[in-house]
Structure formats: structure tokens, C-alpha cells
Structure 1
Amino acid sequence: MLYAVALCLLLAVLLTVLAIRRADTRRRGLRLLAGLLAAAGLGLAAFPPTRSFTQPAPASAILLTDGYSADTLQALQRQVAAGTPVWRLAPHRADDTTTIPNVAAVRQLLPGITRLHVLGQGLPVADVAALQGLHLVPHADASRVGFAMAAWPTQPELGQPWQIEGSFSAPTAGPVWVRLLAAGAPRDSVQLPAGRGSFRLRFTPKAVGTTVYQVQAHQKGRLLAQEPVPVEILPTQPLRLLILASAPSFEIRFLKDELAARQHKVALRIGVSRGLAQTEFLNLPTPLNLSRLTPRLLATFDVLLLDNDALASLSADESQALSQSVRTGTCNVLLLADGSAIPRQLPGGAAFRLQARPANAAALPLQWPGTTQPTPSPATHVLLNSASLRPLLSTASQQVAAASRRLGLGQVAVTTVTETFPWLLQRQLGVYHAYWSQLLSAVRPAQTTSELRLLSSWPRPAEPVVLRYEGPATRSPLTIISPGNTTTLVRRQDATVPEWTTAPYWAAAPGWHEARVGSTSRHFYVYDSMAWPLPRFVEWQRAARQNAATGAQAVVGAPATATTTWPRWLGFGLFVLGAGLLWVEEKL
């Protein structure tokens, strides 16, 4: 910089000296003026002057994202101030609109911006944090066709009832059929008479592995919308059950055979006469001593299933061992309440109170989550509901037929339905298996092993997918296996729970991915960028409102200071003008 200033001053002095010492004194003033113009022009070209000014605080812009409507853009441009810039969020440059590669460029293009109008599908939730302090205004099209919301279990167990719930909205009135396609065929459907509303579809998975179901909406034979429903069918986790029965019964006979057929490990002790009991072991290689309940024996099993008389016959030491096992979470209890009262030996039994049902209520149907139709209830008693109980089965009149409660680290469940084998004789296998699945799931021990959890609702390519590892500390990295690629990520310790670690992952393509940390793994699905647009838009609207509520007030009304620089061509123009005058004057 100093050399350039010295050069300009030297040029000005040189031209001035030459103009004064020239013998021809005519047009000396013109020569002096031309020399100074040439030197000043060279200086202005090297160091153009700048000017600072205060930019008014109110400033807004329009950002176009995928799926925006041209009509919505035109209507918005008539409402905002003239000259409001319009940008397009896209990785590639467009000819018609200024393109920005990411949302971080918004403040660089317009430093004083306070309001950003967003058209189309909206921004990814992860990008909203980069616009902290801006008032984000989402603009939706006049009518949107599709599934407004949906939720389903992403990792159901094989053979367990599975369902998807959601809502659909169509622009025109008229009945709409929503159906579920699974395993290559339609499995369930429901009609929405008004063309919009909530739906619930059910299916029972028949094979283990990852798969993608489809949910469709049809109106008069025309496909209105279709969205993928990815699920990972997990194999059934076998339970270790100890069954104590006071006497032989058809209920226990059929139950132990069905449990063993589903690969559960069953140990059975049935009272035959006073002081004499019969034992049986299914899927258990080593017979155990079942004559007395001890903490060591109970720790061998996940669930203790017994009836009223078997529970009432326990000694004080056995009752204490059972209570201790439940509170420590080593063995849970399921009681078949076939009497008029709950035995006092039941851990936490004070919360369960029985009430006789009226004689004319025996035909009232029994229902529970996952049932497709009500089932006749053979129960003669019901449970009095209380705040400490979690209902598992109920009648149409909302009477509780089965419930569970937490006791320490374990679970205690009671059912008043004690004769379910007629369902098998009537070939109602689905009802029978769904019933016992509901009860056994309530007393299934909690998993204490490590787990990988997906924290992103609708993963998409080029957006961060956050995964969290919950389990014992390990130095193993987080590995993502995607189609044709393997990525290793470094996990960061969670700020609130030290045992948790998280890592973001940017998927390159849609489809199934597998995450692994040591021996722990799970599959997750990355959706196409156009899949489930309405739930994503609702999620984006919620993030925009939270952003406005948390940070917009901190910057609204604050003026921004900007600078402007003279164009360099003015300096070059003065230099050319001065040099040209000197040349012309010399030729005259």
C-alpha cells in the first residue's frame, strides 16, 4: 500500500515539474490540471473511497424451496414491499432466480434481514438453527393432497399385531379409500366418507427382516397419494416362564403347549394331590428343582405365571423371595385371578381389587389394543381401576379385565379372564395369540443391554440424521453401512446423560441403512426427498414457530451498518482523461 501511495505522489510531482519547466508557457495551467487528474485517477483506481451508511431495520426476502407454487409466489409478491429479493435454495445455479447453496448465505446476501418468507416444502429442521433470530414465515399452497400425519411401530416383533394410524386430506369431497399394502398384497383398508379424516390399518407380520409397506389413498379408482412405510420385523424374543398351577386344567394344558410351540422356555409344576406335584419342562435342557421358590430359582425365569390357589399356598419365605425378585426386576408376576379376591401373597396386591360382574354382563365383549373385533369375555369378575394400574384389557363398558402396575424395577399383572382355551377350540388362533401377547408383553423384563436410537423423525438425503447410543461405555466407533458405502463416525458424549453418545450422519441416497456400535446394531430407513411431504411441512412449521418465539425479539428493530465503495472505473477514467489531455496538448 505504501509503495502505491508513493508511486502516485511521485507521478504527481514529476508531471507538475515537467509542466512548469517546459519552455512553452502557453497552456501551462492545462498541463498542470491534466497531470494532477492523471495522478489522482491512478490513486482512486488503487484506493477507491468507501462510504458507511445505516440500513433500515425492516428487511425481508423470499426463499423458494422444492415444490413451491408460482401462484403462491405471485400473490406474496403483491403483498410485500417492492424490490424484495427472491432467492432459490438449491445446490445448482438457476438462470431465473438468484440461487443460494445453503441457508447460511441468507444473512450474507442481506445483512439487515429480519423476516424470511419460505415457499414450498420448507427447510429441514436442522437448518432452522442457522437462522436463529429471523422471523420465518412458512407459506403453504391453497390445497394439499396427501397424508397429513402417520405413526407406526418401526420395529414390531414377528407374529405380533401391528398397526399404522394417521390422517388423510383430499381437496375434493367424496369417499376416499385408504389401504395398506404389505408383503405384495392389500392387507387392510378403510373408507373415509368425507374424503378426509383419521384412519387405522392393521397387519400381522409373517417374516423377519427389513421391508417397506405402502399406504395408498384412492378415490373413484384414481390414486391420490402413496407413501412408503418402512418396518424392521424382529424375531420373537423367547421368554423363560415358570407356571405354577394348583390343579390340572385345560387352560394350563393348552397354554403351555402354545408357549412351547412359539419357542418359549417353560417349566411347569401342577398340583396333583396334597403334597404331590407333577413337573414338566419344555425347551429347557436341564430340569430344575421346582419344589420350592427361592431367589436363585426365580432369577432363572423372566415371568412367574400362577393361579390364586398356587399363590395362596406359598410359604412366608417363598412370598418374601417372590417380592424381592419382583422389586429387583429379576422376575415379574402374572396372576390368573380365578377367585373372588386377590391373595395377600401377591407383591403389590393391595392395588388390585376385584368386583363381581352382573350376570347379564357375561356376554359383554372384551377388547384390547390390536384387536380387529370385540371378543366375548368369559370373566366373572373385573378389576377396580385406580391411578396406580395400567389397564391391559377392558370391556365395551370400560370395565378393566386385566391390568398391570410397576413395583420397584419389576411388573405385576393380574387378569380375570381365566378360560381362553375355548378360543383355540373355536379356531380363533389370532385372538388367542393376541390376548396372550398383550399380557406377556406387559410383564416382559426390561432390556438392559445397549441400544441404538434414531432421533430424526423423517430422515432424508443431504440432511443430518442423528443417532444416539445408549449403553455401556465402549471405544467402538459408530459405523453406518449404506448401499455401496461404509462410513465411520465419531460419537460425542451427551450433555445431559453421560452414558449416552450421539453422532450426526448425512445420507447420500435413500434406502435402508444399518448402524453399528460394537455388537449393537439397528436398521433405519432414509426416505426419498419427496416422500411424506405433509408431515415434513408440519414439522418445519413447528420449528419455525419455535425459532420465532426463542430468538426473534433479540434482533427485530436493530439497524444494520453497511458500506459502499466507489467503482474503480472512475479512477481509471480520470487517469485516461488526464493522460489524454497531456498527449493532445503536446500535439497542439
Structure 2
Amino acid sequence: MNPWQIATAGVIALATLVGLWRVWRQPRSARRAGLLALQPLCALALYFTLYPLPRASEGGTLVILTRGAAPVGSGDVIALPEAGAPQGAVPVPDLATALRQRPGVARLQVLGEGLPARDRDAVAALPLQFQAPAPTPGLAGLSTPPPVAPGNAFAVEGQVVGWPRGRVELLDPAGNRVDAAPFDAQGRFRLQGQARLAGQVLFSVRVLDAEGRERDRQPLPLQVVEPTPLRVWILAGAPQPEWKYLRRWAADAGVTLHTQIAVGGGLQLGDAPKPLDAATLAGFDLLWLDERAWSGLSASQRAAVREATRGGLGVLVRLAGPLDNGARQALASFGLPLQGGNATTPVSWPVAEGETPVVLGRRDFAPDTALSVLARDAGGTPYAWWRGIGQGRIGVTTLTDSWQLPLAGESAAHGRLWSAMLATLARARMHGASFDIPAPVWAGERGVICGLATNPQVRDPAGRVHALIRDPASGDCAAYWPAQAGWHTLGTGGDATAFYVRDPAQAKAAFAREQALQTARLVTPPDAVIGGASRAEHPGSRWPAWWAFVLLAAACGWLERARRV
């Protein structure tokens, strides 16, 4: 019984008790006995008129036509708005309305691409059958990169369906190709790019078949945020071309760089010398040393580095030359035991289509224990490793001459290389608000935003403001139905977070796959359907109880009038 039924039963019971009490006070007679018997029966008839007894029956199957479904010849067939107006189907605004109109439905059968978010909750516990259609050719999956800082690299992964061979290209907002790669036999691919200026930008990913014809294209939203600049301290034991090009990259990436390069005789190039102690290291996010600077650290300086690393500092040691025993033992004490390193071997550098092949080198160091890999070459061979110490991380790279990349015109590859290493090792920071926004968000579809401490507002691309109201059941989540594709802003001021709403018409393959996957999660296993979901309960007819109430009420009225006569 629901609260309304309980309240109705209470009111009827109270009225019946009052009537019985009044009749009980009358003199004993046959009329009095009749009223005492008829009033409870009249109350029961009234209740079951308002709330008929449920009746079990063989439940029918409701056929639901969604986007892309073909017309069905017979049966109880409805068409959701996305299905259009197919012949022989009853159009309904949503599934919940259709189920209220058909209380005897026991099973659901979905045809087409699948249920939209609006109708998935209405399925509830009803058994559901759904056979996913053939995948729509195109970009069926495309990851959304997380926010990235200017100058940093980002990666995008996805899957192509419908073509056995071909390639995908990453295009910048101006339409210039940034990266390209063939997709494998399963259609999977991975592309890389580099962020430039801060703001919300739209890259794009396009699919080309084996003949080079464009088959699909989707926008790729990217948020380039302006974080607090990373503070990097470079300690070098000798001048090298590497430092020159690292300074150029740092300037482009917005990294605050402090360099101290020893040239012998107690002289240094670069910035003013700083003492290497805990107080100084607390002001930096990453300490970058070459093998000579690492070998030259005193015991107290290494202790300061260890303590700072436990507190969150990142450390990167670049090994471009051999190490003496003391330097090896020092690395081992930090959890980075290495062997080898007396020779240089070529690096199989990953080259994307259109990039110039560059031959680089690395020292043949190898760890004595299992370490996390920081970077690999094109053949999958690691050349950089790292491990955690407290709240910080320390890593080593054996790449000797990455400065040849910008000389060969591959400045973007040089930037991606070092951006990835710094992103892994540098001191972790928290930026912006902690809203949980699902990806992707589709125009015309319900999205759920969580992590809300208040009832914020969303500003759409047209400047309209929409107030969100948190769901009391969840506490910190609210639903949002975006009507327009593009960049939306959640919140205001420093806590504002931008998110992109995709247009289903621009990503047909991805949208169809999302609908099918979400609907497939609602499918009932066949054994559960056979086991006991073939019968349904729905309200019975009100007329028998209504006529009983009319007759009993008439009898009570006749007896009351007989007393007065």
C-alpha cells in the first residue's frame, strides 16, 4: 500500500467507526442490526471502488520503436519521438506515458538503436529484450582529453567501425594536420597533439579510407587551462645543447625555469645560484639533474632531496653519460638500481605520418628491479623509468640527444616528450572545481552532474542561464537537458567549469553506439524471463465494487429512512 491508500483507508475507517457508534446507541431492533452489518460492507466497497484489487493476467509484450527502427506489422507497437512516425505504431511522448496507458504490459522489446536516457529509468524491473543493430560506420568511439596546460601534450584514443583499412588524422582548429596514424584490425587508434593557447578549442578527428577519401569527422573538444606555472630547477654539470632547447620549450609551455650550469673553475651559467636545501626545494615542483650534477651532490644535499621528494617534489635525473659507483649507489638508495650504461644505442623514435625520421640515442642503462615505465620507443623498449617516494616521484631518462628533434623541425614531438615526463613526475596540484561531469554529454539527452555543493547555474552557448536543482535523493547530483551543442559553463567565477555538449548529428556512429550500450545494460537474461516474468498484475475492474457500494449505500439509506417513518 502506498501512502495515499493508507490515508484513504484511515479516513474511511474513521467515518465507519463514527457511524457504528451512532447506530450502537440506538435501541435494539432488526433495523439496528442491519445498519451495523451494512456500514462496514459499504466502507469496504467504497475502498475497493477507489483502489481495485490487482488482477494477475498473461502480460503482453510492448514493442518499442526507437531511432532507426523499421516498421512492425502487428502487435502492441509504440514509437518514441526519435523513431519518427512509422506505419502501424502509436506515437508516444515517452516510455513512461506508454506504460501508464498499458498497465498489463509484462515484457518490453526494443527495436532500433536503443532507448534514450529519458526512457531508461521507466524500464524499472520489466524484462527487456534488445538486439543491437549493425554498428553505424564511422568513429564509434572517441575519448575526450582531460584539461591540459598550454604547451603540454594530450592524447586521444578511439575506434573506427565499418572499414577494414584506413587511417585517422588529428586536425587543429585551423584545419592543419597535427598527427596521423592507421587504425588496426579492430579499428583502434591513438593520436597525440600539443595544446597551444589557453581557452576552449575544437580540434577534429577525421577518418580516411584506404583510397584517402574522408568518411567521417567529429569535433574533439579540448580545454587548455592556464595553471600556476610549473617551477623547474635545472642543475647541470656541463653545458649541453639540450639545455638550450629545453629553455625554448619551457618558455613556450609557460614553465618557470631556474637553471644553474657549471662550466668549471667554480663558475656557473644561467640564473643566480641557490642553496640546495629543503627550504629552497619547497619552492619548486621538479628538480632536474644530469649525471654530473647528480654525482656531485653531497650527502646532506641528497638527504634534502629525499626529504623534499617525500613531501611531493618531483625529481628527474637525465643520464647522458656513464655513472660512477657512488652515483649508482645513490640512485639505488632512492629505489632506482641500474646496471649497464657504458654504451650508447640507437632509439627507435616513434614517427607519425608526415614527420621526418630522426635517429636518437640513449645510454644502455637497465633497471635491476621492476619499475614503472616513464617512456618507451616505437618498438616498445623502455628508456625512462620512475618510482614513488612518499608523496613525490623520482625518475630517470637515458635519452641523450632529444635536442635533435627541434633541429629536424620536430619541435612538437620535442615538446610532447618532455611535457609527458613533467606531467608524470612534477608535484601534484589541484585546479578548479571538483564537478563530476560525464563525457560525452549529448544535446537533447539527459546528463547527470554530480559533486554539487549548491544549486549552480549552467550558461549555454547562446548565453541563456539554466538553474540546476539537486536531487534530494542523491544529495549532490542534478540533471541537465542541454538543447544546444557547444561549450557550456557550469558555475561562476573561479569555480566555473566548461564542458562540451556534442551534437548527435555530427557523431552518428558514436551516438548510436552509446544508445545501444546503455540499452544493452537493461536487458534481462533469458533464464530470468522464462523463470517468472510472464504474468503481470494490473488493477482490476472498478464496476463490481462500485455497484456493490451503490446497493449497500441504498440499503443503508432505506433503513435510516425507515426509522424516521
Fold shared by both chains (TM-score > 0.5): yes
Aligned to 2:498: 523
Aligned CA-pair RMSD: 4.1
Do the aligned partners of 2:375 and 2:382 also contact (CA within 8 Å) in 1? yes
1:563 aligns with 2:540: yes
Structure 1 CA distance for aligned equivalents of residues 90 and 378 of structure 2? 61
Offset at 1:335? 0.6
Deviations 1:527-546 (A, max 9, x none): 22434343334334443343
Offset at 1:298? 0.6
Map 1:50-129 to 2 at 5 A. Answer: 54-70=55-71, 73-74=72-73, 84-90=75-81, 97-125=89-117, 127-129=119-121
Structure 2 CA distance for aligned equivalents of residues 435 and 102 of structure 1? 51
Number of aligned residues: 490
Residues 507 and 431 of structure 1: CA distance in aligned 2, closer, same or farther (over 3 Å): closer
Structure 2 CA distance for aligned equivalents of residues 154 and 65 of structure 1? 32
Map 1:23-422 to 2 at 5 A. Answer: 54-70=55-71, 73-74=72-73, 84-90=75-81, 97-125=89-117, 127-142=119-134, 144-170=136-162, 178-185=168-175, 187=177, 197-217=187-207, 224-235=215-226, 238-260=229-251, 262-273=253-264, 276-278=266-268, 280-281=270-271, 290=274, 292-329=275-312, 331-337=313-319, 338-340=321-323, 342-346=327-331, 349-356=334-341, 362-367=345-350, 375-384=358-367, 386-387=369-370, 389-422=371-404
Please state whether the residue corresponding to 2:491 is helix, strand or coil: strand
1:489 aligns with 2:489: no
Offset at 1:333? 0.4
Please state whether the residue corresponding to 2:346 is helix, strand or coil: coil
Structure 2 CA distance for aligned equivalents of residues 493 and 374 of structure 1? 58
Please state whether the residue corresponding to 2:500 is helix, strand or coil: strand
Deviations 1:234-281 (A, max 9, x none): 34763211111223333334433542454422222233446x242633
1:506 aligns with 2:484: no
Matching residue's letter, 1:97: A
Offset at 1:370? 12
Please state whether the residue corresponding to 2:233 is helix, strand or coil: strand
Structure 2 CA distance for aligned equivalents of residues 165 and 108 of structure 1? 43
Aligned to 1:586: none
Aligned to 1:28: none
Please state whether the residue corresponding to 2:108 is helix, strand or coil: strand
Offset at 1:304? 0.5
Please state whether the residue corresponding to 1:134 is helix, strand or coil: coil
Do the aligned partners of 2:395 and 2:425 also contact (CA within 8 Å) in 1? yes
Structure 2 CA distance for aligned equivalents of residues 320 and 125 of structure 1? 56
Offset at 1:322? 1.4
Structure 2 CA distance for aligned equivalents of residues 370 and 467 of structure 1? 39
Matching residue's letter, 2:205: V
Offset at 1:348? 6.0
Structure 2, unmatched stretches of 5+, are 1-47, 548-565
Deviations 1:546-569 (A, max 9, x none): 3346996797245414423569xx
Residues 199 and 308 of structure 1: CA distance in aligned 2, closer, same or farther (over 3 Å): closer
Matching residue's letter, 1:124: P
Structure 2 CA distance for aligned equivalents of residues 518 and 208 of structure 1? 17
Deviations 1:381-432 (A, max 9, x none): 2333854x22122245533211222222111111011333343444442332
Please state whether the residue corresponding to 1:413 is helix, strand or coil: strand
Residues 518 and 364 of structure 1: CA distance in aligned 2, closer, same or farther (over 3 Å): closer
521-530 vs 219-228, which moves further = 219-228
Please state whether the residue corresponding to 2:105 is helix, strand or coil: coil
Matching residue's letter, 2:310: R
Offset at 1:509? 2.1
Offset at 1:129? 3.0
Residues 411 and 316 of structure 1: CA distance in aligned 2, closer, same or farther (over 3 Å): same
TM-score, normalising length: structure 1: 0.71
Structure 2 CA distance for aligned equivalents of residues 426 and 177 of structure 1? 25
Deviations 1:477-499 (A, max 9, x none): 4221112311233557997xxxx
Residues 504 and 396 of structure 1: CA distance in aligned 2, closer, same or farther (over 3 Å): same
Structure 2 CA distance for aligned equivalents of residues 88 and 370 of structure 1? 47
Which residue, 430, 440, 446 being the options, matches 2:422? Answer: 440
Residues 458 and 68 of structure 1: CA distance in aligned 2, closer, same or farther (over 3 Å): farther
240-249 vs 204-213, which moves further = 204-213
Matching residue's letter, 1:412: I
Structure 1, unmatched stretches of 5+, are 1-46, 78-83, 282-286, 571-588
Map 1:450-465 to 2 at 5 A. Answer: 450-465=432-447
Please state whether the residue corresponding to 2:442 is helix, strand or coil: coil
Please state whether the residue corresponding to 1:354 is helix, strand or coil: strand
105-114 vs 218-227, which moves further = 218-227
Residues 142 and 325 of structure 1: CA distance in aligned 2, closer, same or farther (over 3 Å): closer
Offset at 1:301? 0.8
Offset at 1:206? 4.3
Aligned to 2:27: none
